[in-house]
Amino acid sequence: MAKPHVREFLDTFVRPLVAGGELHIGPPIPMPDLERWAGELDDASVELVAVDDARTLVLSTLVCRTPSLVLAEDELYLAAGLHNALFLVHPRADRWSVTDRQRRRIIDSALAMVSQPLTRDRTRVMARHALLHNLFHVSRSDVTVSWWTGHARFQGQRPPSRLTAWKGVRRVREEVTLVGFDELLAVPDTAPVIATLLRRTPLTQLLDSHPGAPPLHWEDAVFLLRDHELARAIAYRLVPDASPREVTAGPARLAAAFEQMLERAPDERDVRAVAAFLVHIAALFCLGELHLREPAAKSPLISTVLSAEAAGQRPRGLATLFALPGALALVDARVAVPPGVLDMKPLAARWKVHRAQTAEMLSDAVIDALAARLRRHLRPDLPRDPAEVIALPTQ
């Protein structure tokens, strides 16, 4: 039997993973086959061009000039690891008599495939995001077909035409159930693989996180905030034109990751960068309310998400997100307000309203507690006594 060529994998799995469409999940890919595929990439130019063209289209909405992309060996390994993770939740896996020991081997193999070196190279980071940008949107359609004498369920497969024919006569009904990220890739078997995979593509986590996704490690992603173009794209993607809860969902997850970051021993510059970014998000909330007729009117956004009625439904990190500017004002005022906000009178007025309303709805105790945590990491550069500067050491 002829061994599968990398062209088949690129055409049936990698390209639809990037461009959208049906993913073909076959048997688990063994490591020897993957190593052979890496050497066959030069012989799959047509399929590679299709994949890279699709990735370029994805990046065209993020940056002005998309870099030249060529699918590299590490990206092939990442895609293969995701394929094997999806095999574990494939409906046919049980039919193929996969034992517990074999499942453990598949998991270990998938972990080895996605455990590629971390990278901070701008092109490589964007290339990995373009490859995996649909990760949180991978889904499976399960169809239940019922007719006058029985019913059948097809998981991730189209029902045969013989069962759906003569719908009126046989009283055929089709019910489609969508199985999303939580049930496919956040289950115990696949969660370790996906957590490792996501650490290799931090841009994907910042642009399009998911409530069921593993928490972001800011130490892996903070370098992206120092790229002005990417940081701007991330900020605007995080604040969509949607309902208040949808607007704050993504920023709240990043603020929750910031809370976890403060429990570790991060570099002070990284803490400042993340704090400044989250404060910038708070300014975007104000910018979105400049259309209000009364400049001093209370924020509808804050009234909705921080109301007492919604206290039990607040996502983790939401209180930190809104309390952060006030806490930073107590620790280091230079980071408490984004540059230029106070120079625009309408925006400055909304900023003042937001800060007062936040203090009222969260209480000063929440802000003071966050300030105490920040003081452990931020050291304001206070002016030194001139006598101390010029003092000579004693002999």
Token pair recorded at residue 118: 């971390």
pLDDT confidence of residue 257: 96
pLDDT confidence of residue 92: 66
pLDDT confidence of residue 11: 97
**255-299, pLDDT tens digit by residue?**
999 999 999 999 999 999 999 999 999 999 999 999 998 888 999
Token pair recorded at residue 219: 């130490």
The alpha carbon dihedral of 244, 310, 274, 256 has a sign of: negative
Alpha-carbon gap, residue 47 to 8, rounded angstroms:
9
pLDDT confidence of residue 148: 76
Alpha-carbon gap, residue 392 to 395, rounded angstroms:
9
Q: Give the start-end residues of each E strand in the chain.
A: 140-147, 150-155, 173-179
Residue with tokens 């990760």: 135
The distance from CA 209 to its chain's CA centroid, rounded to whole angstroms, is 3
Question: Among 270, 283, 280, 269, which Cα is nearest to 381's?
Answer: 269
Residue with tokens 């990398």: 6
**188-247, pLDDT tens digit by residue?**
889 999 999 999 999 999 998 788 888 899 999 999 999 999 999 999 999 998 999 999
pLDDT confidence of residue 95: 56
pLDDT confidence of residue 363: 87
3-state helix, strand, coil in the chain (%, to 5): 60, 5, 35
Is 1 a residue whose pLDDT tops 60?
no
390: confidence class by pLDDT, cuts 50, 70, 90: very low
pLDDT confidence of residue 72: 96
Question: Among 360, 357, 232, 351, which Cα is nearest to 288's?
Answer: 351
Is 112 a residue whose pLDDT tops 50?
yes
Alpha-carbon gap, residue 371 to 338, rounded angstroms:
18
Is 382 a residue whose pLDDT tops 70?
no
Model pTM score = 0.87
